[in-house]
Chains A and B, each alone.
Chain A
């Protein structure tokens, strides 16, 4: 490459150094301008989903404004499943007749546990931590948990 063949003399060396420092500066300023603005998350992290006695087994409850579904399975275990498709982030919807979450964007489908039923998505939908205080179901909507697949240990019981 030409770049390396050129003779390095004092003049060149100083020129290159100044160029390098300047461009690093520009790069640094630019990237710090564009870096992720951390919005001070003073909001309530815990979203109140309702009274535990209102939820029936083997049912899915949508909380679309909070971007999750509450899935209560046969044995009473609960999962708060994120609506954000793990493929490219579209909002999945629960399809009653198919009994699955389906994504409109590239047709991924997930079971009611959030497990991939059909690709292109490669991992299960994220879940949010659930805690139950005085019979109230609370969901921490700021801490999505990534997971590969569904495991029984992810369930929360009353």
Chain B
């Protein structure tokens, strides 16, 4: 028997996730910033620490909170374990989001990579949903009310909203059924689905010959081991060390035990949903929860299917001009979103200014148009003044959406205090 070969089976398997040789250009750090790899590293860490946490956690209204407290106070390294799980969860949302942005701007979502972009979006959705279902498990005030708000957000969706909300809650309120349901999503179904989709995601990358590079013809290859492997190990080491340092220094938050009678003031959704919650403060719920998010999702899915004449797959921002226009759009997106936030906070009170108009129009449609019309004028300006092509405009749209979300997330997270009022 070839024992040596067998004993290395595991290492060999890991190595075979990569091809034998890789394009020298594609392993430059600045090509991908290792974002996809870091995401999968976080996934592995989450999986391992999560499996361990299961031994301490009691998924019931009576036991959940106390089991977390016990984990933190009585069990050796319990707090550290929870912190690692918490911070890599945050890290995964952040890094996979950056990964999404990287892939978009480096034009890596067209032609045969369309499918993979689609699986990527699906994975991103699963990541956010995993994070959100994990949010409820400590059963403290923060998690209880964040989930109450989010579930009620669903009820706004016409026709299926109530059904959806009841389906995730399992009753009319956030209750023990909800806790159990979230626990099984979080520790069972979702990780399993993610493993499945991740495999497809990775396989599709190999099928389209690795990550995109600026000129595909120039294929100067180097052996994967050691060239790519060393880089990967180096990045992984840095990530793991920073995670350990962070988890030693900063504890995962735990508030008072959940109390269905009192909403804390302010009650905020988890930070990655703060953008949506911020929208809710300004816009009619149908627009904030239904119209705008579906428009954005449609935009993300549809973009790679549009016809472009001048794609530059693998080139950041498509061209030098594209880079310049993206910078303009960043500036426009930030300033304009900020000003309209203030405008709607202090001057535009639709229902009071127009008491006879239905609020769907006064605080919904009109306010949305206040945003969309200047944004379209801006896009038109780019088109006329700089002869922006279709791909440039699509990137500008994407940039404005991202900036709007970023600004709203920051405003909601850092600048809203008691009663969710803005302190400036």
Contacts and interface: CB of A to CB of B under 8 A. Distances in A.
Contact of A106 (B170, B177, B420): B420
B175 to A, nearest CB: 9
B187 interface: no
Contact of A35 (B153, B167, B349): B167
B147 to A, nearest CB: 10
A50 interface: no
Contact of B261 (A31, A39, A91): A91
A104 B267 contact: yes
A119 B351 contact: yes
A106 B170 CA distance: 25
Interface stretch (B280-288, B306-314, B321-329): B280-288
B181 A37 contact: no
A31 B181 CA distance: 13
Interface residues on A, range: 20 to 34
Contacts of B151: 89
Contacts of A36: 166-167, 170-172
Interface in B372-424: 418-421
B233 to A, nearest CB: 40
Given A89-B149, A106-B420, A119-B359, A37 B177 contact: yes
Interface string A114-125: 001011101000
Contacts of B280: 87-88, 106, 120
B227 to A, nearest CB: 38
Contact of B419 (A88, A91, A107, A119): A107
A124 B264 CA distance: 22
Interface size band for B: 35 or more
B263 A107 contact: no
A105 B170 contact: no
A102 B421 CA distance: 13
B284 to A, nearest CB: 7
B200 to A, nearest CB: 17
B170 A34 contact: yes
Contacts of B264: 104
Main SS class of interface, B: helix
B145 interface: yes
B295 interface: no
A19 interface: no
A87 B181 CA distance: 24
Contacts of B177: 37
Interface string A32-50: 0011110100000000000
B148 interface: yes
Contact of B148 (A37, A88, A118): A88
Contacts of B171: 36-37, 39
Interface string B163-178: 0001110111000010
Interface in B344-375: 349-351, 359, 363
A64 B265 CA distance: 17
B261 A65 contact: yes
B167 A105 contact: no
Contacts of A107: 281, 419-421
Contacts of A88: 148-149, 152-153, 280
A39 B178 CA distance: 13
Contacts of B262: 64, 91, 93
Contact of B420 (A31, A67, A105): A105
Interface in A74-120: 87-91, 93, 102-107, 116, 118-120
Interface in B251-286: 260-267, 277, 280-282, 284-285
Contact of B145 (A67, A90, A102, A120): A90
19 contacts: A35-B166, A36-B171, A39-B171, A65-B261, A88-B149, A89-B149, A90-B148, A90-B267, A91-B260, A91-B261, A102-B419, A103-B263, A104-B418, A105-B266, A107-B420, A107-B421, A116-B351, A119-B363, A120-B280
Interface of A: 31, 34-37, 39, 64-65, 67, 87-91, 93, 102-107, 116, 118-120, 122
Given A89-B152, A91-B261, A119-B350, 8 more contacts: A35-B167, A90-B145, A104-B265, A104-B266, A106-B420, A120-B282, A120-B285, A122-B359
Q: Which 4 A-B pairs have the closest CB atoms?
A: A104-B265, A89-B152, A88-B152, A90-B263
